[in-house]
Amino acid sequence: MMALAGVWLGHRLSSRIEDRRRIWSQKRDIYANLLGSLNELSIIAGSIAKYTAGEPSEFAREQIAKLGDQLYRVLREFGNARDMAHLFLKEEAISALGSIQGDLTGEGNEYRMAACAVIERVRASLIATARKELGSTAA
């Protein structure tokens, strides 16, 4: 009887540890997707600003069109990761993401450079939150 209780307890503890690892991995993946999307958004916004700074050439217009396609894909990926964050991450991460709402659409280089600055602030906040939530002590 004691052996059976030991096996049952061992199984339960093993299941809990496995659940914690799975949840930790899900959170890590969500943070990675959010940070990757934000990095791409910043690069795309900066590149569009560069190509539209002067009188656009045919090459610049082609590059802007390609960047526009990339922007759509990355915004979609960011939206998916943000939705998952609302399900799995703590409020601190959600509030950091809330500060970016509405700041990703607009026109003009001044706007694009401001969007890059907002993205960088959100990225820094998300990194700090991820370190707290995932237990990293790396600086």
| Span 56-114, pLDDT tens digits | 789 988 988 898 888 888 888 998 999 999 999 989 888 888 877 655 556 666 777 77
Q: Per the domain annotation, does 95 fall within a domain? A: yes
Residue 88 placed within a domain: yes
**Euclidean distance between the first and the last CA atom of the chain, given in angstroms as a whole number:** 50
Reading the block at residue 134, the tokens are 């995932």
Q: What is the pLDDT of residue 25?
A: 92
Closest CA relative to residue 119, chosen from 135, 106, 138: 106
Q: Measured between alpha carbons, how far is 116 from 119 in angstroms, rounded to an integer?
A: 5
Mean pLDDT, rounded, of the chain: 82
Q: Decide if 116 contacts 46 (C-beta within 8 A).
A: yes
From CA 96, how far away is CA 124, in angstroms rounded? 9
Q: What is the rounded distance in angstroms from the CA atom of residue 44 to the CA atom of residue 50?
A: 10
Does 11 reside within a domain?
A: no
Buried b (16+ CB within 10 A) or exposed e, 18-28: eeeeeeeeebe
- Asked if the structure places residue 18 within a domain, the reply is no
Domain count, the chain: 1
Give pLDDT, residue 81.
Answer: 92
pLDDT for the residue numbered 131: 92
Instruction: Report how far apart, in Å, the C-alpha atoms of 110 and of each of 43, 58, 61, 83, 107 are.
Output: 15, 22, 19, 29, 8
Task: Write the DSSP symbol of residue 55.
Answer: S
- Domain-embedded: residue 62: yes
12 in a structural domain: no
Residue 8 lies in a domain: no
Count CB-CB contacts under 10 A for residue 67: 20
Instruction: Please give the average per-residue pLDDT across 29-40, as a whole number.
Output: 93
Range of the structural domain that residue 66 is part of: 24-134
Does some domain include residue 102?
A: yes
- The pTM (predicted TM-score) of the whole model is 0.78
